[in-house]
Structure 1
Amino acid sequence: VHWEDAEKQYIVSVFSKIDVDHVGANTLERVLIVFPWTKRYFNSFGDLSSPGAIKHNNKVSAHGRKVLAAIIECTRHFGNIKGHLANLSHLHSEKLHVDPHNFRVLGQCLRIELAAALGFKEFTPERNAYFQKFMDVISHSLGREYH
């Protein structure tokens, strides 16, 4: 994947402009609420029976922060995101058996949360496209272990 300097610079800069903990938690909450079939991967998280239960679930919030931290770490590896995520790809495919489509769902939800956090004047359609490209690369990289 070829990255333009403007793409990389903007993606990196976004994470200094948002409350990472809040956006990370909200992203995973949105995934679980809007795409309820994704809850099957989080049986150990306790009560996920309603949007309210999901929003008040500390394990969901903590895991959302962890996921976003892993996404942010990818900004240090633009030249080799696939290699950087190889171990996570293996874990999600071989041990957790996560449907790779869910990685795209996560990317969609993250872009919605970023748009909400940054506003339309900051998160323009062009910049949204930068993040779609970034999340598509991450999704593809996480799904590479699947047959």
Structure 2
Amino acid sequence: MLQPRKRKYRKEFRGTMKGFSQRGNYVAYGEFGLKALDRAWITARQIEAARRAISHHTKRAGKTFIRIFPHKPITDRPAGSRMGSGKGDISQYVAVITPGRVLFELAGVDEATANKALKSAANKLPIKTKIIAR
């Protein structure tokens, strides 16, 4: 699963998800892409599940580009622990997604295969998406 190798600060504030994607909002590497229409945190597990779905449908033909990376650490407190005693331990990493962001790209496969693979990947993600072509 994806996670950063090293961080300057171990824990991070939750932040807000405002605005639209200013970068990464067009198909840059492949011919077909999966574009986000909502905003959300997408976990490293969800990214991996979508990647595996694409890999399964394309039968590892062509090339898959993952255009998002989970940089943001999310903390969790153990169940039944009392209030106070600081912030919890890091439980997972997420990618912050805003509308317009291209999540995955495919190159070297035909349009029917790409549509099937990207639709399958979209089912693994918690947001509305659309399939776009270059």
What TM-score comes out, normalization by structure 1 length?
0.34
Relative to total residues, which structure has the larger helix share, 1 or 2?
Answer: 1
Relative to total residues, which structure has the larger strand share, 1 or 2?
Answer: 2
Which of 1 and 2 has greater Rg?
A: 2
Between 1 and 2, higher relative CO (CA 8 Å, sep ≥ 6) is seen in 2
